[in-house]
């Protein structure tokens, strides 16, 4: 058995898209209730890691393992992963014409939680979360993401997360495109709308969101590997120094390429 206190354990994960190897051996351990952040230059594989965790089909895992509470995640379908408590906002369709936000969320909720909440029961649950996230009531009757502004989509992702109450929420650049007020509301949602022992993996380019969602660990990904791990101070150092010093230390650029 894998150790009990691990929620998610990723070991030596290698992932290919087509014939290009993107993740070159990622190691990551997330315990219950922990907040982790991954930072790193563009194109380094952060979103690839998130998609691979979600089980997106074009992402081929060539070696390594991913376990959640000791169970092999790589053998699970994307739906099974969601039922197991893994949440990735962007795994949901970006625009669904003809499906309203409240219907979409109720079906997702009932499927994942194996419950049968009625429309009225669900509306109460939804209303409370929407008030917290300062999302206008009229949103629940709108078609999912259709005509939503960038910031509204992001807020809606947090609403999905709040409704589904996952064990692990992976937020890929949820902070991009948010105005300052929205950023604080979203951060407050992450901090206060999840169960105490839920964990969060924040993928971000900016230290700003980490002022509100305090990370226990900050990881840096360079060229498909996590090369450094620290606390909040590492994010500050990156903001100040950029990534060149890490690319020199860990990247391929200095070496001969084929
Ligand atoms: N479908 C695809 N086909 C080919 N290459 C891809 C595909 N998806 C991603 N890649 C490549 O994989 C690499 C990693 O992409 P990824 O989106 O994981 O980077 P990222 O770290 O999230 O970057 P960013 O900070 O810009 O979001 C990039 O070089 C990208 O071009
Ligand atoms: Mg990305």
Q: Determine if ligand 1 sits within 6 Å of the CB of residue 47.
A: yes
Task: Name the β-bridge partners of 201.
Answer: 36, 170
The answer to whether 91 and 78 have CB atoms below 8 angstroms apart is: yes
Q: What pLDDT is recorded for position 222?
A: 97
Q: Are 56 and 76 in contact (CB under 8 A)?
A: no
Domains in the chain (CATH in brackets) are 8-88+166-250 (3.40.50.300)
For CA atoms 46, 48, 49, 53, give the dihedral sign: positive
Count how many Cα atoms sit within 13 Å of the Cα of residue 38 in the half-sphere of its side chain: 28
Can you tell me the mean pLDDT for 103-123?
89
Point out the ligand 1 atom lying closest to the alpha carbon of residue 48. Answer: 18
Pocket of ligand 1 contains residue 20 by CB under 6 Å: yes
Nearest ligand to the C-alpha of residue 38?
1
29-83 pLDDT per residue, tens: 999 999 999 999 999 999 999 999 999 889 999 999 999 999 999 999 988 999 9
What pLDDT was estimated at residue 257?
42
State in Å: Cα 172 to ligand 2 middle. 7
> Strand, coil or helix: what is 235?
helix
The 10s digit of each residue's pLDDT in 119-177 is 889 999 999 999 999 999 998 888 887 888 888 888 888 999 999 999 999 999 888 88
Q: Residue 22's closest CA among 66, 67, 72, 61?
A: 61
- Mean of per-residue pLDDT scores for the chain: 90
Residue 7 and residue 35 in contact, taking contact as beta carbons nearer than 8 Å: no
- Across 209-246, b (16+ Cβ under 10 Å) vs e yields bbeebebebbbbbbbbbbbbeeebebbebbeeeebeeb
């Amino acid at each position: 058995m894998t150790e009990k206190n691990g929620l998610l354990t990723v070991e030596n994960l290698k992932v290919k898209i087509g014939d290009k190897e993107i993740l070159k051996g990622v190691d990551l351990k997330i315990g219950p209730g922990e907040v982790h952040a991954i930072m790193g230059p563009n194109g380094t594989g952060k979103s690839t890691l998130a998609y691979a965790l979600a089980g997106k089909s074009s992402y081929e895992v060539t070696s390594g393992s991913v376990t959640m509470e000791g169970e092999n995640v790589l053998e699970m379908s994307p739906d099974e992963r969601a039922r197991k408590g893994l949440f990735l906002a962007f795994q949901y369709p970006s625009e669904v014409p003809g499906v309203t936000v409240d219907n979409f969320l109720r079906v997702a909720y009932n499927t994942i939680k194996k419950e049968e909440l009625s429309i009225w029961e669900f509306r109460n649950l939804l209303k409370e979360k929407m008030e917290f996230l300062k999302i206008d009531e009229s949103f629940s009757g709108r078609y999912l993401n259709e005509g939503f502004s960038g910031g509204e989509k992001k807020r809606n992702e947090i609403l999905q997360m709040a409704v589904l109450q996952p064990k692990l929420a992976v937020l890929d650049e949820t902070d991009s495109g948010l105005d300052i007020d929205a950023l604080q509301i979203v951060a407050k949602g992450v901090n206060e709308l999840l169960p105490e022992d839920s964990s969060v993996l924040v993928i971000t380019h900016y230290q700003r969101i980490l002022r509100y969602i305090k990370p226990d660990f900050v990881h840096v990904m360079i060229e498909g590997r996590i090369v450094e791990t620290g606390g909040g101070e590492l994010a500050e150092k990156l903001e100040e120094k950029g990534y060149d010093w890490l690319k020199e230390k860990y990247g391929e650029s200095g070496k001969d390429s084929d």
